[in-house]
Copies of this chain bind each other. A is one copy, B any other.
Amino acid sequence: MAQDRPRTAAKGSARGTYAVGDARRQKILDTAVEHFALWGFHASSLARIAAACGITQGGLLHHFRSKEDLLLSVLAQSEQHDVERLFAEPPESVAAHFATVVALAEDNERRPGLVRMFHTLVGEAANPGHPAHAYFRQRYARVLDHTVELLQAGVARGELRPGTDCEAAGREILAVMDGLQIQWVLAPASVDMPARLRGFLDRLLRDLSPA
């Protein structure tokens, strides 16, 4: 579990209920992203993460009571970036939502660390005993549900053909996003994620549109 400080309380204002002294805490989180991205959870080492922050392992464990706590804190923070963007505003149309998805892929190209981290962790987390297993199961279920709901709303509005299999389409969309990320992580220069995604989504929308 993440440390229980009144952090989220001071959302909007620059001066909140907590002092700015947690720059160190944030630095640890950022460094952890880099390390988890490169080595995953198991092969990452608290001592190395700490050293990269200029402190010792003992110092790090003052901020996060265990390695697992650090991992879950990292995931909780990173979630906001992705999910808040997709979940925030109910889009006006399916096309608008697809545009958001492409924009997210463009974002991702600019932060390879996060993409690599999720790619690496989702591999490890396939094991039910992995500390992030539950997180990833929930994350996938939630993103899928949300996508399916948006597609169903599109059907209701007449943008999509009646009888569209929204779950199938939603799973396809998630699959293409993830699959392209794999290819991109293995060979970044050779994959244009946003372009491929846009191509796929445009075709999908055309295919699902009423005749």
- A142-185 to B contact mask, C-beta < 8 Å, 1/0: 00100000000000000000000100100110111111101101
Cβ of A137 within 8 Å of any chain B Cβ, yes or no, is yes
Chain A interface category by residue count: 35 or more
How far, in angstroms, from A120 to B40 measured CA to CA in the complex?
Answer: 11
Distance in angstroms from A189 CB to nearest chain B CB is 12
How far, in angstroms, from A165 to B137 measured CA to CA in the complex?
Answer: 34
Asked if A180 and B175 make an inter-chain contact with CB atoms under 8 angstroms apart, the answer reads yes
Which residues of B have CB within 8 Å of A127?
38-39, 120
Chain B residue at minimum C-beta to C-beta distance from A140: B186
Asked if B175 and A40 make an inter-chain contact with CB atoms under 8 angstroms apart, the answer reads no
21 A–B contacts, CB within 8 A, in A order = A39-B127, A42-B42, A120-B126, A121-B123, A122-B186, A125-B186, A126-B186, A140-B186, A144-B183, A171-B183, A171-B196, A172-B176, A174-B179, A175-B179, A175-B180, A175-B182, A175-B196, A176-B176, A176-B179, A178-B182, A203-B207
